[in-house]
């Protein structure tokens, strides 16, 4: 007896060719899961990769500035930093110019982890990029960044 997989609702329903939301959500979820599997190999969970990428070892960044770059609330960044700080990947300090403001920077170990994250991103990017013809890849990449700017702009107005 041959079993068949249940139909995938995302691909089996009729789709409107102008629908951006459904494919963007599907791409986002699948990409995040693919990257998360690879990040787990180095002990990093989804979201920590972007936070590590937003930080620097030599230049402390304000928590609010990091939150703005990641399009999340400062309280979310603060909670994420608690975990990174416990792991020894970052260090918080008071802003020298304004002692009310908290800044954060990567530690040496955090910088090493950020390099590992970048390696994983490059590996996944290479795997995905090899499947598309180069001209298509360039057009797709530009279009995706245009959509990201559009969505981020709309989101920032709502917050």
Q: What is the pLDDT of residues 39-85, one digit of tens each?
A: 999 999 999 999 999 999 999 999 999 999 998 999 999 999 999 99
CA terminus-to-terminus distance, the chain: 54
Q: What is the CATH number of domain 20-158?
A: 1.10.10.10
**For the chain, domain boundaries:** 20-158
Q: What percent of the chain has pLDDT over 70?
A: 90
| Pairwise CA distance, residues 79 & 65, whole Å | 15
Q: Which residue has the tokens 């304000």?
A: 62
């Amino acid at each position: 007896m041959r079993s068949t997989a249940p139909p995938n609702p995302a691909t089996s329903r009729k789709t409107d060719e102008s629908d951006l939301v459904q494919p963007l959500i599907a791409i986002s979820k699948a990409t995040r899961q693919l990257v998360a599997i690879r990040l787990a190999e180095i002990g990093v969970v989804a979201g920590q990769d972007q936070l590590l990428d937003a930080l620097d070892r030599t230049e402390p960044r304000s928590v609010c500035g990091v939150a703005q770059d990641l399009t999340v609330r400062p309280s979310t960044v603060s909670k994420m930093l608690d975990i990174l700080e416990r792991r020894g990947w970052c260090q918080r300090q008071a802003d020298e110019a304004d002692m009310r403001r908290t800044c954060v920077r990567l530690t040496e170990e955090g910088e090493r982890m950020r390099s590992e994250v970048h390696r994983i991103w490059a590996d996944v990017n290479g795997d995905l990029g090899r499947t598309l013809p180069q001209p298509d890849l360039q057009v797709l990449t530009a279009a995706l960044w245009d959509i990201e700017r559009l969505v981020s702009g709309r989101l920032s107005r709502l917050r």
